Amino acid sequence: MLGIIILLFLAAMLIGLDLGFAMILAAVAGIFIKSGQTVGAAMLSTTTVAGVDSFVLVTIPLFVLVGELMNRGGLSQRLIDWALAIMGFMRGALSQASILVNTVMAGISGSAVADASAIGAVMIPAMRRQGYPGGYAGAVIAAGAMLGPIIPPSIPMIVYGAMANVSIVRMFLSGVVPGLLLAGGYMGICAAIARKRGYPAERRTDVRQKLVATRHAAGVLLLPVIIIGGIRFGLVTETEAAAVAALYALVVSVVFYRTIKLRDLGGCFTRAAVSSAVVLFLLAAAGPFAWLLAESHFNQAVAGAIGGMTTDPLMAMLLINVVLLLVGCVLEPLPAMIIFLPALIPLGRVLGLDPIHYGCVMVFNLMIGMIHPPIGLLIYIVSAVGKVRPDEVAREGLPFLGWALTVLVLITVFPTLTTWLPGMVK
């Protein structure tokens, strides 16, 4: 029975059916061919609704709208000017500025794809004009954009929190330290490569020029502070933070900077709605599919397989990491979460793992797949944006991939890196 469901699901995917429809098709077939007990077809509609029947999912369209308003308003250019004023004195200043901008943007949009597109369109041509190889320029942008779903706000962490029934606030905060570790390491790699290859600095700026650049970008720089600070100090819930951030982004873009006209808002809302609908549809479609897997004892089979290899929680986490890294090589993060979390979340409970640490490690792991060949979504996005070959981006991205894997090991072995900040929130 379970084999038929999985084979049908894979066959539907191979013939090009959308992931959501493939899960629904497999679930419908499973419900009507399941033997040994009566299964009501009503479970299809019940579990579909249950997949999105969570108040915290309201944050998804709100944070998507924030990113859309910021990118549509061209505010990434203000961040780039500010980053160059801060980092311009260093060798390889453009690569350093790219990582810094992506770190700030990660605290605004939570979308790796949006960040790679918006920042790559400006920074990749600029780096190429300064003599950086196209593959290296693309690798820097891809690695930096990976920060988007790790530093809060993060749509994958919202998805995990909703599916595992854990605090979204604590999930958000769990990504702060790993995200900063990742960004710091990326900057170190950029500095080492710049020295080795002789990439130029941009310009030295005095304190007054740095302050002027900061003032021009203040409206953008304040948004991550509002989101993370408001959540950290308990001033707002995650849903309220999303609403405040969307309102703030609207006011800054339309009134303060005037980079978006009122007539453009309809397009911004439409694009945000479409992007949100894709995520929510996948969650809805995962409901009956996950229920059927649970009814078929798939979770117990996975737990039994890993439990048969080891009963040590750390070794189990390392095995799960290996599995997810392989999954990330061929699947994008969100589909991978939708498919595998229904089995992995109960396994974490059986192993007695901290759900916040466990969730952060899984999200971080799957994000690595975005810069990992052969599928690595960000590799292909920056290749298209920067008009460079994907294999060049993948090759130049190996040092960044190596550091990401190192951080994954660190947060797996030392849970405090992910639980210290969430532990300060009651």
399 vs 218, more confident: 399
Confidence at residue 365, expressed as pLDDT on a 0 to 100 scale: 93
Q: Are 272 and 155 in contact (CB under 8 A)?
A: no
Residue at 46 is within a domain: no
Express each pLDDT in 325-339 by its tens digit.
887 776 777 777 877
Residue at 251 is within a domain: yes
Question: Do 31 and 93 belong to one domain?
Answer: no
Mean pLDDT to the nearest integer, 310-333: 81
pLDDT band of residue 36 (cuts 50, 70, 90) is very low
253 vs 139, more confident: 139
Mean pLDDT to the nearest integer, 3-18: 77
Mean pLDDT to the nearest integer, 142-163: 87
Percentage of residues in the chain with pLDDT exceeding 70? 93
Question: Do 22 and 146 belong to one domain?
Answer: no
Question: Do 36 and 132 belong to one domain?
Answer: no
Helix/strand/coil for 202: coil
Question: Do 3 and 142 belong to one domain?
Answer: no
Question: Do 152 and 280 belong to one domain?
Answer: yes
Residue at 259 is within a domain: yes
Question: Do 12 and 85 belong to one domain?
Answer: no
Mean pLDDT to the nearest integer, 119-124: 82
Residue at 45 is within a domain: no
Confidence at residue 298, expressed as pLDDT on a 0 to 100 scale: 67
pTM of the predicted protein model: 0.80
Residue at 47 is within a domain: no
Confidence at residue 193, expressed as pLDDT on a 0 to 100 scale: 93
Q: Are 329 and 375 in contact (CB under 8 A)?
A: yes
Question: Do 315 and 268 belong to one domain?
Answer: yes
pLDDT band of residue 300 (cuts 50, 70, 90) is low
Boundaries of domain holding 334: 55-424
The number of distinct structural domains making up the chain is 2
Among candidate residues 71, 99, 70, the one with its CA nearest the CA of residue 84: 99
Q: Which DSSP helix (H) or strand (E) runs through 395?
A: helix 390-396
Q: What is the dihedral of CA 190, 194, 196, 199, to 10 degrees?
A: 160
Confidence at residue 312, expressed as pLDDT on a 0 to 100 scale: 81
pLDDT band of residue 405 (cuts 50, 70, 90) is very high
Question: Do 199 and 342 belong to one domain?
Answer: yes
Question: Do 31 and 149 belong to one domain?
Answer: no
Is a pLDDT exceeding 80 seen at residue 156? yes
Is a pLDDT exceeding 60 seen at residue 237? yes
CA dihedral for 63, 67, 70, 72, sign (positive or negative): negative
Q: Tell me what the pLDDT averaged over the chain comes to.
A: 82
Residue at 81 is within a domain: yes
What would the two tokens of residue 188 be? 């170190």
Residue at 183 is within a domain: yes
18 vs 176, more confident: 176
Question: Do 70 and 18 belong to one domain?
Answer: no
Confidence at residue 109, expressed as pLDDT on a 0 to 100 scale: 65
Distance CA 367, CA 146 (A): 7
CA dihedral for 148, 20, 286, 365, sign (positive or negative): negative
What would the two tokens of residue 319 be? 């095995």
Tokens 């979460």 sit at which residue? 337
Mean pLDDT to the nearest integer, 20-31: 79
Mean pLDDT to the nearest integer, 294-322: 77
Distance CA 118, CA 108 (A): 13
Distance CA 21, CA 25 (A): 6
Question: Do 32 and 69 belong to one domain?
Answer: no
Question: Do 36 and 59 belong to one domain?
Answer: no
Residue at 50 is within a domain: no
Is a pLDDT exceeding 70 seen at residue 175? yes
